Copies of this chain bind each other. A is one copy, B any other.
């Protein structure tokens, strides 16, 4: 199954010097004259393209003509001798000995040499990944996902599939999508309401009880009408849940997970990160390295409020007292100005957190954390779970969630549940943080937002 990719070639071009190589790939640029043509091709293994040179003297005029008539985006087969060129801009070049046009591209192929802005590219989600920027983003996305799986598997976590269609609204926020059979007026699931899951957490808790360490990695859905750069109706979440863990343990887990996955991803994408630094954010690698080399900061919510109150004039919302639900402007101030790096805000007032969080002794706050990162705001939300049946039931009644729907969840507290903690990472927000791309629509292949469902 193994075949040579352009990525592998560029990793060690010396190893392929003077070897005869074959690639099937797509044309990225094509210039030259009747005597010599320079073709760059990309095979999707990296954002980096390979320059190939074709000479009339060895290939003949017919092949040069065929090359001349090959359009950007065309699928080609090239065979030739590799030359290691350490002194050149690119340290490898292929001297074509055989060329085959596998399938040309029509002239209206929208990805041409001139740069297209990201808004315009969003109109063609089926083609936009054939630009360098989106290629880099989606390759990094793939590796990041795998490194997250790898981290969990190597640390004894069981991968668990929470149901997507569920009758429980895990956050109690009510921003759910209903699910109905397209072809029948009869409800597919009988009397039960059926919605798309907003979290896998409640179900993951049941599996942490018995399996100890579990995680989900799955799509979640919010019927959220906010039209911002960081909200989508469909996005992927990673939700670890660990029995016997308390708040500090999961913050440490988040720290270790993020660092390991980001570090390994950077190591696998030297070219893509170079490209992003040059084209998206020249501070990107510095920012990521700073995170890799420092422990996540922790600040108590009430201390954060005190700090924010000192500079209240900087904010639109100036009424900064205990009880304020932090807005993005406050979150960004905390991570960007106060800490200049990722920071976990802990012990939030229970009023604006979900019912399942552990109630602290002060009677006012819960053992929750939000991980805020520069440029994004909230990347992770997590908590220690309320394991005391009476406290949990009291809170369920207070917030008005149906006890009947959640009786199974309450019952988990009766069967050897010594507590658990967990968190949810918005995967696309993590991709935004790692790539420096500032709009969630550009890190999801086919983004879904309010009013928008292309293809």
Contacts and interface: CB of A to CB of B under 8 A. Distances in A.
Interface of A: 1-3, 5, 7, 24-27, 42-45, 73-75, 102-106, 108-109, 125-127, 129-130, 135, 138-139, 141-143, 145-146, 149-150, 153, 155-156, 158-168, 174-184, 188-190, 192, 194-196, 203, 206-207, 209-213, 218-219, 221, 223, 225, 233-234, 236, 243-244, 252-253, 256, 387, 408-409, 411-412, 414-419, 444-446, 448, 450-453, 455
B158 A106 contact: no
A243 B103 CA distance: 12
Contact of A105 (B74, B125, B195, B416): B416
Contacts of A419: 103
A218 B27 CA distance: 31
Contacts of A412: 126
A161 B243 CA distance: 30
A1 B179 contact: no
In the A-B complex, the 5 residue pairs with the closest CB atoms: A44-B211, A102-B418, A103-B418, A75-B418, A163-B446
B188 A450 contact: yes
Contacts of A146: 149-150, 153, 159
Contact of A194 (B3, B108, B387, B453): B453
Nearest to A109: B415
Contacts of A162: 445-446
A210 B243 CA distance: 43
Contacts of A138: 158, 160, 207, 211
A415 B176 CA distance: 38
Contacts of A143: 153
A444 B166 CA distance: 14
Contact of A45 (B156, B163, B175): B156
Contact of A219 (B174, B219, B417): B219
Contact of A211 (B129, B180, B182, B196): B129
Given A158-B142, A223-B181, A448-B163, A416 B104 contact: yes
A210 B448 contact: no
Contacts of A233: 165, 188
A259 to B, nearest CB: 11
B165 A45 contact: no
A417 B243 CA distance: 50
A389 to B, nearest CB: 10
A150 B106 CA distance: 37
Nearest to A177: B179
12 contacts: A1-B252, A24-B212, A25-B212, A75-B416, A129-B206, A163-B455, A164-B221, A165-B453, A174-B183, A184-B223, A188-B233, A190-B453
B455 A210 contact: no
Contacts of A195: 182
Contact of A177 (B42, B109, B181): B181
Contact of A210 (B2, B26, B149, B167): B26
A165 B196 CA distance: 10
A177 B177 contact: no
A155 B453 contact: no
B188 A183 contact: no
Contacts of A223: 181-184, 188
